[in-house]
Structure 1
Amino acid sequence: MGRTRLGRFAAVTVPATLLTAGLGVAMLQGMVGAVLSSADGFTLNSDRITSDGLKARTGAANVAGGNQATIYAETGANTNASGIEVVTPDVTIPLLGSKAHLEVASTDTTIALGSVGLNAKTLTTPNGATLGTTTIGVAQSEAGFANTAADSGYVADGFALTSSSADLPNVNAKAYAITLQSLALDNLSLSVALGN
């Protein structure tokens, strides 16, 4: 059910059960970037994400069970992560009669991501965040968002937030899609974990 296609950036779009495997293949093949999406959502964690810019607005995603209101965020061109972990939802494996999920992780302290686009149900930084010069309530069109299929939920005069920089420690997101402009890793862990 998954498929791989190469466009301006390498893209990997797979169902939730294969999401992290797709990410691992993209990393191992040295692809320039990746688009990861799952109608069932996936968990994205990082010890810290820093960027030279951040903008956010209301969004939407076509997910399992129907459309879902989301947070849509884009970072600046120089975005780095300290550690990254992606975990898919549990699925039942018929042959084993038990649940399992895939996990992909890297403990690198400087992971170059380029610019990042994130469509998520939730995005939290429980230990706070530091933003540069911030404007709250700017129109989405003036914040630099475009009305494209990739920017689902766009409303030209809708609410948006912009910031000149962002330092986000302990990031946790329930995401439906993420676009990475680049990905450079020194180590990679790809594993299957059994559930209850």
Structure 2
Amino acid sequence: MKRKNLLFLAIAFLATFSLASCLNDDYESKAKLPSAEELKAASKLIQGSYQGKIYQYGLNDRTGKSEKKDSVNSSWEIKDDSTLVIRNFPSKMLAANITDSVLRKTIAALPDQEIKCAIGVYNVKPILFLAAPYAINLGKMTYKGQVHDISIHFRFDPSFTYGGYDTESKTTACYLKGVGVFVDGVFDDLATSPLTTFLIYSKPKL
């Protein structure tokens, strides 16, 4: 547990620093940024299948601080240099912050979901990548007495929705942020997306 916490404190710091450096047009050391060959090699290294846990975090109503709400076993695969697929993502986690009770119960009762993310390695020492999950289309559901097309969207935040790979332990992890609900393709304020975050953390790569 201590190793995991230390690893992600380091990743969080380095991710923020590295991303800020990459995005700053006035950054004076652009020559030190990873080459295309280094990025390609890092992308290839992290490809493979993983097993581990998904941790759900949310705000404590009393303290106002983030705390672990739930966890579940899962598996995921980095299939190529741009795709991460998370399997067995519980629908009850996706529904946790939906304020409409009927819709929350309907979504929570659905089978586990498969979440596909677009990823891109931007740092090689350590290996860090951005992660942007695609929308999850849940189909037609009853909401406010009418049938609508419902989809779930994660919030993309480059300063937070990223992952890392530890070359020594051959473990990977990734942060995902927030959940938003779209009704007929339009965002509806049914979920407090900034308040829910997810961490996937693996055992050593298979």
Greater length-normalized contact order (CA 8 Å, ≥ 6 residues apart): 1
Q: Same fold (TM over 0.5)?
A: no
Larger fraction in strand: 1
When Rg is computed on C-alpha atoms for both structures, the one with the higher figure is 2
Normalised TM-score (structure 1): 0.31
